[in-house]
Chain A
Amino acid sequence: MTPARRSGPAVIIWVIAALALALLVLPLLGILLSAPWPHLPALLVAPETLQALGLSLLTGVISTFCCLVLGIPLAVVLARSVGWAVVPRRLLRAAVTVPLVLPPVVGGLALLLLLGRNGILGKYLAQLGITLPFTTGAVVIAQTFVAMPFLVFAVEGALRGADRRVELAAASLGATPFQVFRTITVPLVAPGIAAGAVLCFARALGEFGATITFAGSYPGVTRTLPIASYLASQTDLNQSIALALVLLVVSVAVLLGLRDRWLPGVRG
């Protein structure tokens, strides 16, 4: 094959890749270009903005924590499901993947039907005096629901890449299965856990559909940044753009942190 023939497809690929990148980046540039820069300082320190930002960060951190506690064991089970029969293995994988492909509004509706005041589980919770819908707790549940797959898949990938035989070595030294999990498995996949947590937090931060359906939009209680931005876009576009800008900056900052920095100390 001649160099000239090889460079042909490469150029087309470069052009298409550039188009794809433009589709991803140009709309964001649009936000920057239309931002009401002169009014921005005032809009950013407005109580509604700070309230929404604070709520978003708080719920994002809590739901990321929930994803870590619940998602790491789920990732372990998923990684070990390789040896299972086909049907349960595929069902498990589908169940973990569903929140990724489901419209978040549907997820929110499902949560409402399950945990709402007259919901399947919700009515029992109500008897115990626990009401979830339209509370900050509901925001956390909605975010955990949509963000969990990001964590599970990142950790599962790390588990598959790790040399699991060191777990046998740990067992031969007297470690129980839970001790092996805590002292060997988790540290071994720490980079995957960190990467998953970052993606999880970014997804939770941007969560809109499930939150507004299941938790509503009460200022200071459930009105997170994306919801505040959407509501403002109906009345005050400048306010909406300012909120969107905050969301964009926080998200990009979080994702820029997603680098090699969490490689375990062993390599540092």
Chain B
Amino acid sequence: MRIERADFPTSVTLDVRAGQPLALVGPNGAGKTTVLHAIAGHLPIMIGSIQLGDRELVELAPEARRIGVVFQDFLLFPHLTVADNVAYGLRMCGSGRKPARAATLPWLERFDLSDLAGRYPHELSGGQAQRVALARALAAEPEALLLDEPMAALDVEIRDEVRAQLADHLRDFAGPTVIVTHSAADVAALAADVVVLERGAVTQRGTWESLRAAPATPYVARLVERREE
């Protein structure tokens, strides 16, 4: 997947290889989430392009892009059960209730949600809600995946465990993946490549190791130090 956004105030070019999750990091207000919403189609891109395989996505409506999104606070549908949340994408693509339910079962099992299938989102822990959000996004069979601060809504004590599980699941996803975060731990555990965004512009790109070896800006220097603490 290749994303070019030349709009003011955030302009960025990202090359995301399938199976090599890319972390988009930067301080608050750097424009990370803006880029994410632009890829998902919630914000227009005036100047630029999004190539996914041989498809150009910029002109497509969000529902036609086939890009799965895991939102920061997960945004589960509060009036639907876990099973219906996960089945939602299939239902919207025209699957009947029963086929959608059946197709959802393996996803529930894979994300350890089978016992929670009948629960409503307000009855879930943060870690469980994150698994539902990921299962819901993947069950719709997206061609690319976006995650917006996937750990931010979770309690600090459980983050390491949930992050390790998330890393496993991301490895299983074959398409391009972009993770927006400002956490060094997320970058180290989840991403293969890193792009640093500061005040709307890319200040460094490379692997986590290359960033640690030669931080290009004071922000990157602070970011890599935080990991080593």
Residue of B nearest to A175 (CB): B92
Say if the beta carbon of A27 comes within 8 Å of chain B.
Answer: no
In the bound complex, CA of A170 to CA of B133 (Å)? 12
Say yes or no: is A260 at the interface (Cβ < 8 Å to chain B).
no
Give chain A's interface residue range (CB within 8 Å of chain B). Answer: 20 to 34
Could you tell me the dominant secondary structure of chain A's interface residues?
helix
Would B92 and A163 count as touching, CB distance under 8 A?
Answer: no
Interface centre among B67, B78, B121, B137 (most CB of A within 10 A): B78
A170 adjacent to B79 (CB under 8 Å) = no
Most chain B beta carbons < 10 A, residue from A166, A173, A188, A265: A173
* Contacting residues, chain B, for A168 (C-beta < 8 A): 37, 40, 42, 62, 69, 71, 75
B69 partner residues in chain A, CB cutoff 8 A: 168-169, 172
A174 at the interface (CB under 8 A from B): yes
Q: Is A165 an interface residue (CB 8 A)?
A: yes
Inter-chain contacts of B37 with A (CB < 8 A): 168
A171 at the interface (CB under 8 A from B): yes
Q: In the complex, which residue of chain B has the Cβ closest to the Cβ of A168?
A: B42
A103 at the interface (CB under 8 A from B): no
Are A173 and B140 also in contact (CB < 8 A) when A187-B79, A266-B121 are?
Answer: yes
- Residue among B61, B121, B136 making CB contact with A173, cutoff 8 Å: B136
Minimum Cβ distance to chain B for residue A186 (Å): 10
Find the residue from A163, A183, A264, A266 having the highest chain B CB count within 10 A.
A266
* Residues B122 and A267 in contact, CB atoms below 8 Å apart: yes
- Interfacial residues, chain A to chain B (CB-CB below 8 A): 163, 165-166, 168-177, 179, 183-184, 187-188, 190, 264-267
17 A-B pairs within 8 Å (CB atoms) are namely A165-B71, A166-B75, A168-B37, A168-B40, A169-B75, A169-B77, A172-B137, A173-B68, A173-B89, A174-B63, A174-B89, A175-B63, A176-B61, A176-B63, A176-B92, A187-B79, A265-B120
